């Protein structure tokens, strides 16, 4: 397959310090939808996720359990690997761990190249540090002396000699890059946020920790007293996972990447990582798609806040494709979403049980009753308008378009009244329109799509796709 038909997409790598929650499930499912869509459009797809397994937060957690850090992350990583099956993700999903030997080697090679190019130096480091974010925090980031994202964690005051990355050298190159690539970050107002941040001036950031204080990390090349700071290690996964620097042919086949990330990751993904790539002479990422938070009772849902809803809970109550539906259509893609069990039940009954499920039953009951053989459906492709949304990674708009098509089909049924006319041509047309809807749902709700298309092929009304939930 030619290189221009290769497509590389990745999520961020979550820390393995607790059970995966529905917020990360949203990021995975969003990326999976785009990966499936691209594959259906003829692209060869590399879909990457994994786990970030170094840093102070994980080290402290392991010590709290009386475990070796490697044993601790090994125990938790299986719960993230299981998400492939739990969330119905693509079978060929690639999973990288930052404790993998190949990644460690790549991270050290990256460090050496940055150092050779003059972008790493050592100095005394004094800062306020949030272990929840694994980031330095300035006074304007603090509310009542606490990080605004992790109000339950105490700020740590660090003073030690560290290595630094010359982030300040990339202020103009980054601003020029954003100017020349106005669609680099989606939605575009997130790019404006990072642009304003950079225009205030960039400060060099620490990229190491003293091993005697925090030994859990990748060794700094040439200095056995230091380990790499977690971000300088973890961000390199986006290139180590596709073979950099040992397999440049593989790397060049896939790079650049489309990255899916949360809104708390804008600085790291759109600025820090892009500057790091510039420092080693590699092309920037292709695009970065930023999603909002999932809140519970008005507060960000996060492991560190202890208010997590698991994807497994939602699946147990409503099913896998219902979860994928909620995430793709009911959750705000780019803004925050406040979830509750009542809201999920209302959406399920209105749009799945009474909506999609009822529509499929109505059409296929007519077909099974009135047509002597299955309707022959020619090859299906994505509607241009639907494709235009997905090409711009606008998943929620794409789903709304499909539901609009469902509404049109419902209206057509009411207009034609085929249960009265018994017109076979009208019924066959309804089936063909339903087939298009079924195909359009393939990236979003693969199991449901397969059931719809199978029912059409067999000319049978399927069992209820989404039984109504009253409790």
471 residues of the chain, pLDDT tens digit each: 344 699 999 999 998 887 888 989 999 999 999 999 999 999 999 999 999 999 988 999 999 999 999 999 999 999 999 999 999 999 999 999 999 999 999 999 999 999 999 999 999 877 787 877 777 777 777 888 888 777 878 888 777 899 999 999 999 999 999 999 999 999 999 999 999 999 999 999 999 999 998 999 999 999 999 999 988 999 999 999 999 999 999 999 999 999 999 999 999 999 999 999 999 999 999 999 999 999 887 776 665 666 778 899 999 999 999 999 999 999 999 999 999 889 999 999 999 999 999 999 999 999 999 999 999 999 999 999 999 999 999 999 999 999 999 999 999 999 999 999 999 999 999 999 999 999 999 999 999 999 999 999 999 999 999 999 987
289: β partners:
186, 260
What does pTM read for this prediction?
A: 0.92
What CATH topology corresponds to 340-458? Isoleucyl-tRNA Synthetase; Domain 1 (1.10.730)
Q: Which CATH number fits domain 3-305: 3.50.50.60, 3.40.50.620, 2.30.110.10, 3.90.850.10?
A: 3.40.50.620
Query: Which is nearest to 433 in space by CA: 360, 368, 384, 373?
Result: 360
Radius of gyration of the chain (CA): 25
In this structure, the strands spanning 287-291 and 185-186 are parallel
pLDDT of residue 127: 76
Q: How far apart are CA 239 and CA 347, in angstroms?
A: 39
pLDDT of residue 301: 65
pLDDT of residue 320: 98
- Could you check whether 3-305 and 340-458 share the same CATH topology? no
pLDDT of residue 318: 97
pLDDT of residue 306: 67
Query: Which is nearest to 342 in space by CA: 306, 318, 316?
Result: 318
pLDDT of residue 2: 41
In this structure, the strands spanning 6-10 and 135-137 are unpaired
Number of H helices, E strands in the chain: 21, 18
DSSP 15: B
Q: How far apart are CA 368 and CA 27, in angstroms?
A: 39
pLDDT of residue 4: 62
Q: Which CA distances in Å does 213 have to 133, 299, 373? A: 18, 33, 73
pLDDT of residue 98: 98
DSSP 169: G
Task: Decide: helix, strand or coil at residue 282.
Answer: coil
Please state the domain extents for the chain: 3-305, 340-458
**321: part of which helix (H) or strand (E)?**
helix 320-325
Counting every residue written for the chain, the total comes to 471
Q: How far apart are CA 176 and CA 53, in angstroms?
A: 34
- Give the number of other CB atoms < 10 A from CB of residue 238: 23
């Amino acid at each position: 397959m030619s290189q221009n038909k290769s497509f590389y997409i990745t999520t961020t790598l979550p820390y393995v310090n607790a059970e995966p929650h529905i917020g990360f499930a949203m990021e995975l499912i969003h990326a999976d939808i785009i990966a499936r869509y691209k594959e259906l459009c003829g692209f060869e797809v590399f879909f990457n996720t994994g786990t970030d397994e170094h840093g102070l937060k994980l080290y402290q957690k392991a010590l709290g359990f009386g475990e070796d850090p490697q044993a601790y992350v090994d125990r938790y990583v299986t719960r993230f690997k299981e998400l492939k099956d739990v969330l119905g993700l693509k079978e060929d999903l690639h999973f990288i761990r930052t404790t993998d030997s190949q990644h460690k080697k790549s991270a050290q090679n990256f460090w050496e190249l940055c150092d050779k190019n003059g972008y790493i130096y050592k100095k005394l480091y004094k800062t306020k540090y949030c272990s929840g974010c694994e980031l330095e925090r300035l006074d304007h980031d603090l509310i009542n002396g606490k990080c605004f994202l992790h109000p339950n964690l105490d700020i740590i005051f660090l003073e030690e000699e560290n290595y630094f990355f010359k982030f300040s050298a990339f202020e103009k190159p980054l601003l020029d890059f954003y100017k020349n690539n106005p669609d680099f970050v989606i939605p575009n107002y997130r790019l404006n946020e990072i642009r304003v941040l950079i225009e205030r001036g960039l400060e060099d950031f620490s990229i190491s920790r003293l091993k005697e204080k925090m030994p859990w990390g990748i060794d700094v090349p040439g200095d056995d007293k230091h380990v790499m700071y977690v971000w300088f290690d973890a961000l390199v996964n986006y290139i180590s996972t596709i073979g950099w620097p040992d397999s440049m042919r593989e790397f060049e086949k896939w790079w650049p990447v489309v990255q899916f990330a949360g809104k708390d990751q804008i600085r790291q993904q759109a600025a820090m990582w892009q500057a790091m790539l510039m420092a080693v002479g590699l092309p920037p990422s292709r695009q970065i798609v930023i999603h909002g938070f999932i809140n519970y009772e008005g507060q960000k849902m996060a492991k560190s806040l202890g208010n997590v809803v698991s994807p497994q809970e939602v699946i147990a109550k409503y099913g896998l494709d219902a979860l994928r539906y909620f995430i793709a259509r009911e959750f705000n893609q780019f803004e925050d979403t406040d979830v509750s069990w009542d809201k999920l039940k209302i959406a399920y009954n209105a749009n799945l049980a009474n909506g999609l499920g009822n529509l499929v039953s109505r059409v296929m009951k007519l077909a099974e009753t009135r047509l002597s053989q299955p309707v022959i459906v020619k090859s299906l492709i994505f509607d241009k308008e639907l494709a235009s949304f997905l090409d711009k990674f606008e998943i929620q708009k794409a789903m709304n378009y499909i539901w609009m098509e469902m509404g049109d089909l419902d209206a057509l049924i009411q207009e034609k009244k085929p249960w009265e006319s018994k017109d076979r041509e009208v019924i066959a047309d309804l089936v063909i329109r339903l087939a298009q809807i079924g195909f359009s749902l393939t990236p979003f709700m693969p199991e449901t799509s397969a059931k719809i298309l199978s029912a059409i092929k067999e000319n049978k009304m399927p069992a209820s796709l989404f039984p109504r939930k009253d409790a």
